[in-house]
Structure 1
């Protein structure tokens, strides 16, 4: 029993899942553990993202220099398991995770998350970042092979400066972003209760509609007629 307890308290994957205060001292005593992967390629980065331990995520990349684009046996980086908008933004905007990486199924993190339909805000955020980077929407069409390289995604095209929650000008995107989505999200963002429970509920409903293709030009005409 004592041996089992000792094994659990020194297992970095269990410590990462629990966000244990013992993990960072363990990693500092043996920094090679920070990049360790199990037999399936699961890493501490994947654990930190999956459990939304954001300070641990930052420490792994910034202090221990773990490759933010480390992939598991399925070709999934940590971004593929991000379940919150905060986690996705830290990965992409602070730690420069590559949003264009495709797994062994030929799908990006955005495509995988959108397909699962569990975290629509993360999927919509990643789609906006794809638009900023000029990455076309392929919806699972096989693309470049999986890579484990480092470096930020392509730069935003000149003259385009977008924050999540603001829509890209239609002339920059053509028909990529539905104008009804743009109108409705701008209305939501202008509401006093946007950050409150009701505003966030309506935002979740809106992004779910967008991902399912339910927002159309017909909605614009119906609401404005």
Structure 2
């Protein structure tokens, strides 16, 4: 019986969506195809990521040692092809993909997802959380419940939460500060960059006591 012809990389790329097991079988017989690319530099790793074929993806990286950061003709690694946070997480946390690689246009995967898909896209949110150490993921979880997270505090300012005796709690919140916060929150541009900047300035003023002279009152800071 004549042996079957060697499959091409283009054939495997066309099969990966619907017949991933055939890809694994073909790779076992023709391992040189694991790191092959088509005429545009598109590899099986890119395709496995795009179609969320995690079993094929793990085999390519772990068994056949394909570079997880292999790039196509646009200088884009497989991370740029991710369609879900699950596969992006597998790439970065499990397989060691670099999240900060820039493509031929000088954009990271995070920046490209933000530009093309918007800030609500799950891959963008995941990559942002990687860059910010998990803060973006927590913020995204709060946003999905319809509650907006507070703005970050100024550099060097920390807030510690602890219990205090009633007589040590000090004065009630300044009505003027409360009025300014409520007024700011009611504005149409509250969620814009300018609105959030003004809220951060107000928080900074309250926490650091910058506006104490303007308010003609002393701000007492609790010293541990």
Normalising by the smaller structure, the TM-score range is 0.5 to 0.7
Q: Which runs of 5+ in 1 are unaligned?
A: 1-5, 133-161, 168-181, 192-211, 221-225
Q: How does 1:163-178 map to 2 (within 5 A)?
A: 165-166=137-138
* Ranges in structure 2 where 5+ consecutive residues have no aligned partner: 1-5, 148-191, 201-224
Q: Which has the larger radius of gyration?
A: 2
3-state SS of 1:90 partner: helix
Could you tell me the TM-score, scaled by structure 2's length? 0.58
* Number of residue equivalences: 151
Partner in structure 1 of residue 196 of structure 2: 216
Other-structure match for 2:42: 42
Residues 125 and 136 of structure 2 are in contact (CA less than 8 Å); yes or no, is this contact kept in structure 1? no
- Do 1:19 and 1:56's aligned partners in 2 also have CA atoms closer than 8 Å? no
Contact 2:20 2:53 (C-alpha < 8 Å) held by counterparts: no
Q: What is the SS of the residue equivalent to 1:166?
A: helix
Q: 2:194, 2:84 → 1: CA distance?
A: 23
1:38 Cα offset (Å): 0.6
Tell me what 2:127 maps to.
126
- The CA deviation at 1:217 is 5.9
* TM-score after normalising by structure 1: 0.57
Q: Equivalent residues in 2 for 1:147-186 (5 A)?
A: 162=134, 165-166=137-138, 185-186=141-142
| Structure 1 contact 9–15 (Cα < 8 Å) conserved | no
Q: State the 1:17 CA deviation.
A: 2.8
Task: Flag the 1:8–1:74 CA change in 2: closer, same or farther, 3 A.
Answer: closer
Q: Structure 2 CA distance, aligned partners of 1:105 and 1:117?
A: 17
- Cα drift, residue 8 of structure 1: 8.4
- Aligned residues of 2:9 and 2:38 also touching (Cα < 8 A): no
